[in-house]
Chains A and B, each alone.
Chain A
């Protein structure tokens, strides 16, 4: 996908997906886009996150796709509370902002490990395989 960066197959691909790219997609299309990326071993970063209903569907669909020895599920992180009215760093980076933006990081459970998380910082360790 256009947002993707890759170093030729030996590293970790990170997909930064803008809110604009998610606009107009149905819940299942969003879930599918995320899980297709995760199944390929990518780290998916959503500029605007998901609604609670979409998060619920993401958990449900993830569970149906877990396969022992192949796919253990996902690690997902968002800030614990909605951001304040001030523009977020990521919002400024992506050229837009808003009080509802909730940066979300999603990756394969066996490749991403959250090291620290609070209202303003998510620190994660990503392994190659």
Chain B
């Protein structure tokens, strides 16, 4: 009995180590449409794996499916942090196909809007069930106090998920990192330009510290 109990405990310890401690944490990249989430995911993935995650576009809702890049190993201060990056569709409460008709014909716009709604629902499901931490990406040239941002930050906080706020697009003239810091003072805000690769050292330091 003692032997069996000991064996079971040992197996349990090994299983715990294999499937929790060493399993890469899934870090969801969330935010409103067009904040630069995929550009950031691609920047991180290219820097550490050489591959991209998905296509980028100036048209909202280019990312319409959550996409996971597994085992991204980030090295900082001699330590290696292994994470899975989950690039998610931009979250919104409304999708109007007419937003896209300047860029494509009606059938494609309708298809894009249908896929976008499925993608947002999928992103919300991931947030409730499948991520261990969140990088919340905001366009620092836009007003951060929107209902979607307030709600999503509230949802993330209610789930006790570690969250970093990334103030993206600091290369733009209208960028204001302070506006984001003032809007969400309870969270660490990291300024960056994913497109230009500005301040990526601090980005990786913070990722390693928060999610390592």
Q: Which chain B residue shows the least CB distance to A108?
A: B94
User: Of A59, A64, A110, which contacts B91 at CB under 8 A?
Assistant: A59
A73-B95 contact, Cβ under 8 Å, with A60-B125, A68-B114: yes
Q: Is the CB of A80 within 8 A of B150?
A: yes
Shortest distance from the beta carbon of A34 to any chain B beta carbon, whole Å: 12
For A51, the chain B residues whose CB sits under 8 A away are 158
Q: Which chain A residue shows the least CB distance to B113?
A: A68
Q: Is the CB of A63 within 8 A of B154?
A: no
Shortest distance from the beta carbon of B142 to any chain A beta carbon, whole Å: 15
Q: Is the CB of B93 within 8 A of A52?
A: no
Please report the C-alpha to C-alpha distance between residue A51 and residue B125 in the assembled complex, in whole angstroms. 16
For chain A, what secondary structure do more than half of its interface residues adopt (helix, strand, loop), or is it mixed?
A: mixed
0 or 1 for each of A37-62: is its CB under 8 Å from B? (1 = yes) = 00000000000000111011101101
A56-B124 contact, Cβ under 8 Å, with A68-B114, A109-B93: yes
B155 at the interface (CB under 8 A from A): yes
Please report the C-alpha to C-alpha distance between residue A121 and residue B97 in the assembled complex, in whole angstroms. 31
Please report the C-alpha to C-alpha distance between residue A72 and residue B183 in the assembled complex, in whole angstroms. 28
Q: Is the CB of A117 within 8 A of B93?
A: no
Shortest distance from the beta carbon of A122 to any chain B beta carbon, whole Å: 10
A residues contacting the other copy or chain, number (CB 8 A) = 27
For B157, the chain A residues whose CB sits under 8 A away are 52
For B113, the chain A residues whose CB sits under 8 A away are 66, 68
0 or 1 for each of B135-154: is its CB under 8 Å from A? (1 = yes) = 00000000001010011001
User: Of A69, A73, A80, A110, which contacts B93 at CB under 8 A?
Assistant: A73
For B145, the chain A residues whose CB sits under 8 A away are 80, 117-118
Shortest distance from the beta carbon of A43 to any chain B beta carbon, whole Å: 15
B117 at the interface (CB under 8 A from A): yes
B110 at the interface (CB under 8 A from A): yes
For B121, the chain A residues whose CB sits under 8 A away are 59-60, 63-64
A52-B151 contact, Cβ under 8 Å, with A63-B118, A64-B117: yes
A126 at the interface (CB under 8 A from B): no
For A59, the chain B residues whose CB sits under 8 A away are 91, 93, 120-121, 124, 151
For A68, the chain B residues whose CB sits under 8 A away are 97, 110, 113-114
Shortest distance from the beta carbon of A80 to any chain B beta carbon, whole Å: 5
B128 at the interface (CB under 8 A from A): yes
Interface centre among B93, B95, B159, by most chain A C-beta atoms within 10 angstroms, is B93
Shortest distance from the beta carbon of A58 to any chain B beta carbon, whole Å: 8
B127 at the interface (CB under 8 A from A): yes
For A55, the chain B residues whose CB sits under 8 A away are 151, 154-155
Q: Is the CB of B94 within 8 A of A109?
A: yes
0 or 1 for each of A115-129: is its CB under 8 Å from B? (1 = yes) = 001100000000000
Q: Which chain A residue shows the least CB distance to B144?
A: A80
Which residues does A use to contact B, with CB under 8 Å? 51-53, 55-57, 59-60, 62-64, 66, 68-69, 72-78, 80, 109-110, 114, 117-118
